[in-house]
Structure 1
Amino acid sequence: MAIQRNTKQRAAVLQAIEEGHPDCGHPPYDIGAIAYMLGTEDSIGAAGALEYYQLSKPIPLRSLHRILNDLHREGLITFEMKMVDASSAGRLPRRQRHWQIAGREVYNGLFNELAGLMRRARVVHGCTNSFFGKTWDEPAKPEAERRVLTDALKSFLQRTHPDKVDGCADLFSSAKTALDYVRTRKKVEGVVLELPARAG
Structure 2
Amino acid sequence: MTVFTHAPRRTLHRRLALVGAIAAGGLLLAGCGGSDDTKDMDHTGTKESTASEATAGSAAGTFNDADVRFAQMMIPHHEQALTMATLADDRASDARITSLAGQIEKAQDPEIATLKSWLKDWGKPEKASSGGMDGMAGMDHGSSGKGDMSGMMSKEDMRKLEAAQGPAFDRAFASMMIDHHQGAIAMAKGEKKNGRNAKAKKLADDVVKNQSTEVATLRTLLDRL
TM-score, L = length of structure 2: 0.24
- Which structure has the larger Rg? 2
TM-score, L = length of structure 1: 0.26
Greater fraction of residues in helix: 2
